Copies of this chain bind each other. A is one copy, B any other.
Amino acid sequence: MIRNSYPSFRQVLADNPLTRIAGAHSSLGGRIAEQSGFQAVWASSFEISAARCLPDASLLSMTDYLEAAAHIQKALSVPVVADCDTGFGNSMNVAYMVAEYESAGITAVSIEDKIFPKMNSFATADHTLLDVSAFAHKIETAKKAQRTDDFFVIARTEAMISGLGVDEALERCTAYADAGADAVLVHSKQKTKDQVLEFLGLWNDRLPVVVVPTTYPDWHADDARAAGVSAVIYANQGLRATITSLRSTFQSIYETGHTAHLEDNISGVKDVFDLQQLDEWQQLGV
């Protein structure tokens, strides 16, 4: 089969005590994540804009992010969770976003309560949040706009990112749950998981909680699950490894003047062919 079928993210979440999700910006990254065991793939705005050498600041448009997410999904038999930033504008944009992502076969999206255009959460910048009721209205609109029951909307709060703390995060997540969100994502850029743990302690499992342990990398998946987390996103490690690898590879070629020494350390052409499913395609005949 040259195109895979895949379960919805809702199904995957139901089937796994903890859903582990790897960030990607291309079909290739997504496929390798799937082959490595991940149950879903995060179509990361940060990665997708970095692949274009552009800041993660709402410069690329929904059209661009959707294209990237759809390309990734087509290569996988696990679901994509699409990082949809702020929903690309107001509630009308959110409705359009849901219609477009759902038509493209995406089964889960995440939108966050920052103001459009947003700036990446790790950047030193203004991270003013949208009024809670306005964002709740976006969630409500998203849920009304979906056509299949399966479609899954994650409400992401940037309360902790913008320095408003756990109480604000709780209040907001409660409002988003009331508005119909299917899960909440609480993002923190503290060096420890403490803020997130505090949130989990107070949240009472009202909805599944998704976390992104970029700045507290030592939080073991088992411990996150034990603390009440339903899904963990390893959002950008693949990108960061790719950068390191490309840099050392290109520098090494440039400096040594040849590639003989690389041959044993990089994938063979045959490995690329396998990722391209060349054999399956060639069996179709010409």
Contact = CB atoms under 8 A, between A and B. Distances in A.
B245 A241 contact: yes
A238 B93 CA distance: 27
Interface in A240-284: 240-251, 253-254, 257-260, 262-263, 265-269, 271-273, 275-278, 281-282, 284
Contact of A27 (B53, B104, B258, B263): B53
Contact of A272 (B147, B240, B277): B240
Contact of A117 (B92, B242, B267): B92
B38 A254 contact: yes
Interface stretch (A95-103, A149-157, A166-174, A197-205): A95-103
A213 to B, nearest CB: 7
A29 B26 CA distance: 13
A121 to B, nearest CB: 10
A15 interface: no
A269 B240 contact: yes
Interface residues of A, number: 112
Contacts of A29: 246
Contact of A54 (B96, B218, B246): B96
Given A36-B250, A59-B93, A99 B243 contact: no
Q: Which 10 A-B pairs have the closest CB atoms?
A: A61-B61, A245-B245, A36-B250, A63-B63, A218-B260, A53-B75, A240-B266, A241-B249, A221-B257, A217-B259
B243 A244 contact: no
